[in-house]
C-alpha cells in the first residue's frame, strides 16, 4: 500500500492505494469521530462488497446503517439524494455519524454532497470501486448532483476524511467502465505530464488487460497530480480548472444525450479530442499531436467522435458551464501535449468546424 | 444607519441597520463581483418591494433576474429550492452572479442554501423583510431547508456578503409576524443579557406599537449579540449552540404540527417557556423566574403553551435534533435569566412533566 497526503488550508487527508484494503478497517477507524457509520452504495456494488465492509466495521464495534441507490448517472439527482437523507433520518444519524461512499463516481459525488448538507455537514469517507473514481472523482472534494440543464450544477466543495482505493475492487469492474476510467487517466498525461502520456501509450494494452502493477501506477500518478493541483487551488480559482480538460464538451454530451447514455469517461474522451482539435485550430498543436491523442483514446477503448448534436444545442449546453465568466465560456485546451491552458472564448465558426469534423 | 461588522476566520461582512436602505444600492454594489444579480422573493413580499429593488439596481447597470416563491415555512423544501435553480439556469446565472434574498427567514434560508450549492458556491446578500430575519436568521450563515422529519436538516454554513436590514420594510409586516420576530429578540435577552431582558420588559408595548427607535435598538442589540457569538464559533462547535434556546422544543413543534402551522417564532416562544420550566426542575431557575419568562412572552403576543402532542412524538421528533450527541439530546437551558447553558440529556419523566404542564 502507498499513501498520499492531500494537504489543504483547513484540513488534510490520506489517499490509501493498494490491495486488500476494503476490510482493513484500521485505515477507516481513525476517521470516525463516533462509532456510527452510514454506508451509501448502489444496487450493482452492494451485492459484491457491502456485506464485507459492514462485517469488518461491525466486528470493531461500529454501528452501520446502509442505503442502496439505483445505479447510474441518471439517478444523480435530488430525488435519489433524498433517499440518502431519508435513510439517515430513519437511522437516527447524528451530525458526527460518518457517511461512507462505497461505489463509483456517482455514489461518491452524491454521498459527499449528502454529507456536506446533512445537518449542515457530517464527516465522510470515499471507498471508490471504479477506476474513474479511484483516479479522479474521489479525490479533491468536488461533490454534486446534476440538473437536467447541466452536469454537476448543484453541489459543494466538501472534502472527505480519507480516500481508500482498494485495487482489488477493480476485478469486478466491467470493461466499459475500465475504459471510462482510463479517459481520466489520459487526461492527467495530456494536461500536465508528457512523460506519463508516453508511459500510457506504451502501457495501454497492459492497463486494459488489468495488469496489476500498471493499474496501480496509473492510479498513483493520477492521484499525485490531482492532489498537487487541488492543494494549490481547492476552490478552483485558477489552476484547478485545468482538470476540466475535455469536460466542457463532455458535460454537454452527457446533458445533451440525457445523463447516463454515455458514461462520463466516454464523454470526456470525445471531449478531449475536441479540445485537441480546437487547440490545433489555434496553432497550439500540430495535426500529428491531435492524431496521437485520437490514437491513445481509441486504444483505451473510448470514442474519438462526439455524438451528432445541432451546433445550437452544443452552444446552449456549454453556456451553462461552471467556467463561464461574463457570458464567455472558458475552454481548457492544450498548449502542447502535456500542458493545458485556459482559452476564454472560441469563435462560433471554429467551434462549428471542429464539432462537424469530430462528431 | 449603523453598521456592525461580523468578522470570521475566512471572511467578514457588514450588517447595515437603518431606514430607507432598500434603494441605497451603494450598500449592495461593492458586494457584487459582476453586475449580475438574481433576486429571490416570495409572493407576499415581491409585490411590495421587488420592483423598487430591481429599478434601483437596473439604474446602476446591474442585470437582474428574479424568482418568486410561494410564501411560508411549508415551502422550505427541495421542490421549492429547485425553482430557484431552474430560474438561475434559465437566466444563465454564472458562478459569480449574486443571489439576493428579499424576504423573511424562509427566503433567506433557501436563498443562502441555493447560493451555497449553485455551481458549488455563488455569492449572496441578505435583505431581510421580517423582524425575525432582521434580528436573527439573516445573520450568521446558517442556511437550510426542512425535511419532513426535521427542521433545517439539510443545509450549509454559508455566509452572505452583506446583510441590509431596512427598518422601513417592517411597516408592512403583519402583527403576528412582528410578534414571531420578538420571540428571537427575547431569546437574546434570556440567553445572554439580563439588562436587555429588563429593557424588553419595559419596552414591549412600544415594540408592539412599532416605535421606530425601540425596534431599531432591538434589531441592533440582537445583531450585536449574534455577531459576537458567531464570530467566536462559526460552525457551532461550542457557544453558538446557545442560540438554539427554545429551538429543540420549537423545532419539534414545527415538524410535529407540519411546517407552517405555527410560525417559527411562535414555536420558539413556547419552546423557551419549556426550557425555562426544565431549568426550574433542575433548580437553576426559581418559579418567579419562569413566571417572568411567561409574562414577557405573553406580552409579546406569543404562545406560552405548546400544542398538545403525545410524549412519544415529542421524544422522537427531538431525537433528530442537530445537537444530539451519542444518542443524547443536548438541551439549551437557563442557568439564570440572562445566562444559557447546555444540559446533555433530561429525564424522560422530567420532560413528560414539563410538557404536560406547559401544553
**pLDDT tens-digit series, residues A250-291:** 999 999 999 999 999 999 999 999 999 999 999 999 999 999
Grid coordinates belonging to A158: 466538501
Residues annotated in a binding site of A for Zn(2+): 184, 247, 264
Give the DSSP per-residue string, A125-179. EEEE-SHHIIIIITSS-EEEEEETTEEEEEEEE---S-EEEEGGGGGG--HHHHH
Answer whether B80's CB lies under 8 Å from B70's CB: yes
Grid coordinates belonging to A210: 488489468
Q: Are residues B335 and B353 in the same domain?
A: yes
**pLDDT tens-digit series, residues A15-50:** 999 999 999 999 999 999 999 999 999 999 999 999
Report pLDDT for A134. 98
The DSSP output letter for B137 is: I
Name the residue facing A92 among B120, B157, B319 (closest C-beta): B319
Report pLDDT for B355. 95
The answer, for A175 touching chain B at a CB cutoff of 8 Å, is no
User: What gap in Å lies between CA B33 and CA B25, rounded to an integer?
Assistant: 14
User: What gap in Å lies between CA B248 and CA B274, rounded to an integer?
Assistant: 10
Distance between terminal CA atoms of chain B?
A: 42
The answer, for B328 touching chain A at a CB cutoff of 8 Å, is no
- Residue (of B169, B111, B177, B120) closest to B144 by Cα position: B111
> What number of C-beta contacts closer than 8 Å exist between A and B?
90
State the total domains in chain B.
2
Measured between CA atoms, the residue of chain B closest to residue A320 is B92
**pLDDT tens-digit series, residues A209-226:** 999 999 999 999 999 999
Q: Which secondary-structure segment (H or E) carries A31?
A: none
**pLDDT tens-digit series, residues A53-84:** 999 999 999 999 999 999 999 999 999 999 99
Report CA dihedral (B175, B176, B177, B179) to the nearest 10 degrees.
90
The answer, for A319 touching chain B at a CB cutoff of 8 Å, is yes
The mean pLDDT value of chain A amounts to 96
The DSSP output letter for A104 is: S
This complex has an ipTM of: 0.95
The answer, for A147 touching chain B at a CB cutoff of 8 Å, is yes
Position of cell 427566503? B107
Domain's final residue, options B172, B192, B207: B172
Report pLDDT for A327. 86
Burial class (CB in 10 A: 0-12, 13-18, 19+), B115: buried
Name the residue facing B95 among A120, A322, A327 (closest C-beta): A322
Q: Are residues B41 and B153 in the same domain?
A: yes
Chain centre distance of CA A202: 24
What pLDDT band is residue A355 in, cutting at 50, 70 and 90? Answer: very high
Report pLDDT for B60. 97
CB contact (8 A) between residue A95 and residue B320: no
Q: Are residues A167 and A35 in the same domain?
A: yes
User: What gap in Å lies between CA A101 and CA A97, rounded to an integer?
Assistant: 13
Q: Are residues B28 and B161 in the same domain?
A: yes
Least confident of A301-310, B41-50, B317-326, B328-337: B317-326
Answer whether A76's CB lies under 8 Å from A146's CB: yes
Tell me, what CATH number does B194's domain have? 1.20.1090.10
The answer, for B85 touching chain A at a CB cutoff of 8 Å, is yes
Distance between A319 CA and the closest CA of chain B, angstroms: 7
Range of the domain at A308: 200-357
Answer whether B274's CB lies under 8 Å from B355's CB: yes
The alpha-helical segments, DSSP class H, found in chain B are: 51-58, 78-90, 105-117, 131-132, 175-192, 194-208, 212-232, 247-257, 264-281, 287-299, 311-318, 348-357
The answer, for A11 touching chain B at a CB cutoff of 8 Å, is no
CB contact (8 A) between residue A327 and residue B78: no
CB contact (8 A) between residue B154 and residue A95: no
* φ/ψ bin of A98: left (φ > 0), alpha (ψ from -120 to 50), beta (otherwise): beta
Name the residue facing B325 among A94, A118, A156 (closest C-beta): A94
Give the DSSP per-residue string, A267-335. HHHHHHHHHHHHHHHTTSS-HHHHHHHHHHHHHTT--SSPPP--HHHHHHHHTT-TT-BTTB-EEEEEE
Chain centre distance of CA B339: 20
Give the DSSP per-residue string, B284-332. SS-HHHHHHHHHHHHHTT--SSPPP--HHHHHHHHTT-TT-BTTB-EEE
Q: Are residues B66 and B163 in the same domain?
A: yes
Report pLDDT for B327. 86
Report pLDDT for A211. 97
Domain's final residue, options A156, A172, A188: A172
Q: Are residues B322 and B196 in the same domain?
A: yes
Distance between B95 CA and the closest CA of chain A, angstroms: 6
Grid coordinates belonging to A3: 499513501
CB contact (8 A) between residue A322 and residue B120: yes
Residues annotated in a binding site of B for Zn(2+): 184, 247, 264
Q: Nearest 5°: phi and psi at B318? A: -75, -20
Q: Are residues B153 and B266 in the same domain?
A: no
Q: Are residues B268 and B283 in the same domain?
A: yes
Report pLDDT for A210. 96
The answer, for B326 touching chain A at a CB cutoff of 8 Å, is yes
Give B52-58's long-range contacts (Cβ < 8 A, gap of 24+).
Answer: B52/B22, B52/B23, B53/B22, B53/B23, B53/B100, B53/B102, B53/B127, B55/B23, B56/B22, B56/B23, B56/B25, B57/B25, B57/B28
Answer whether B118's CB lies under 8 Å from B170's CB: no
- Residue B244: active-site member: yes
Q: Are residues B280 and B221 in the same domain?
A: yes
Q: Are residues B69 and B179 in the same domain?
A: no
User: What gap in Å lies between CA B267 and CA B317, rounded to an integer?
Assistant: 14
Q: Are residues A163 and A268 in the same domain?
A: no
The answer, for B324 touching chain A at a CB cutoff of 8 Å, is yes
Q: Provide CB contacts within 8 A for B213, sequence distance 6+.
A: none
Q: Are residues B167 and B201 in the same domain?
A: no
- Catalytic residue list of A: 120, 142, 184, 226, 236, 240, 244, 247, 251, 264
Q: Is residue A184 part of a domain?
A: no
Give CA angle at A253 (A115, A241), nearest 5°.
55
User: What gap in Å lies between CA B273 and CA B251, rounded to an integer?
Assistant: 14
Mutation target to probe the B interface, by most B beta carbons within 10 A, among A117, A243, A328 is: A117
Chain centre distance of CA A14: 17
Determine which one of B16, B31, B42, B142 is catalytic: B142
Domain's final residue, options B172, B190, B209: B172
The mean pLDDT value of chain B amounts to 97
Amino acid at each position: 500500500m502507498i499513501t498520499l497526503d492531500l494537504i489543504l488550508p483547513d484540513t488534510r487527508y490520506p489517499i490509501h492505494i493498494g490491495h486488500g484494503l476494503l476490510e482493513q478497517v484500521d485505515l477507516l477507524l481513525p476517521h470516525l469521530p463516533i462509532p456510527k457509520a452510514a454506508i451509501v452504495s448502489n444496487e450493482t456494488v452492494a451485492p459484491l462488497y457491502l456485506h464485507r465492509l459492514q462485517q469488518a466495521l461491525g466486528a470493531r464495534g461500529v454501528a452501520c446503517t446502509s442505503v442502496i441507490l439505483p445505479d447510474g448517472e441518471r439517478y444523480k439527482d435530488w430525488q435519489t439524494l433524498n433517499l440518502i437523507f431519508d435513510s439517515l433520518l430513519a437511522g437516527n444519524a447524528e451530525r458526527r455519524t460518518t457517511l461512507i461512499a462505497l461505489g463509483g463516481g456517482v455514489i461518491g459525488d452524491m454521498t459527499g454532497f449528502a454529507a456536506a448538507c446533512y445537518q449542515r455537514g457530517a464527516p465522510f469517507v470515499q471507498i471508490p470501486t471504479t477506476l474513474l473514481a479511484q483516479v479522479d472523482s474521489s479525490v479533491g472534494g468536488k461533490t454534486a448532483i446534476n440538473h437536467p440543464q447541466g452536469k454537476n450544477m448543484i453541489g459543494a466543495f466538501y472534502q472527505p476524511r480519507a480516500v481508500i482505493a482498494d485495487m482489488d475492487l477493480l476485478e469486478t469492474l466491467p470493461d466499459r467502465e475500465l475504459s471510462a476510467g482510463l479517459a481520466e487517466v489520459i487526461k492527467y498525461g495530456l494536461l500536465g505530464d508528457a512523460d506519463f502520456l508516453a508511459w500510457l501509450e506504451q502501457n495501454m494494452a497492459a492497463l486494459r488487460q488489468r495488469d496489476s502493477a500498471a493499474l496501480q501506477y496509473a492510479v498513483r500518478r493520477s492521484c499525485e497530480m490531482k492532489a498537487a493541483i487541488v492543494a494549490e487551488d481547492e476552490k478552483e480559482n485558477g489552476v484547478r480548472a485545468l482538470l476540466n480538460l475535455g469536460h466542457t464538451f463532455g458535460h454537454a454530451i452527457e446533458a445533451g444525450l440525457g445523463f447516463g447514455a454515455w458514461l462520463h469517461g466516454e464523454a470526456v474522451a470525445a471531449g478531449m479530442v475536441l479540445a485537441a482539435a480546437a487547440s490545433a485550430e489555434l496553432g497550439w498543436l500540430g495535426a500529428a499531436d491531435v492524431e496521437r491523442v485520437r490514437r491513445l483514446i481509441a486504444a483505451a477503448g473510448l470514442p474519438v467522435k462526439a455524438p451528432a448534436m445541432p451546433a445550437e444545442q452544443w452552444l446552449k449546453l456549454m453556456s451553462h458551464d461552471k467556467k463561464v465568466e461574463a457570458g464567455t465560456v472558458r475552454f481548457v485546451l492544450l498548449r502542447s501535449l502535456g500542458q493545458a491552458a485556459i482559452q476564454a472564448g472560441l469563435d462560433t465558426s471554429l467551434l462549428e468546424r471542429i464539432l462537424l469534423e469530430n462528431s
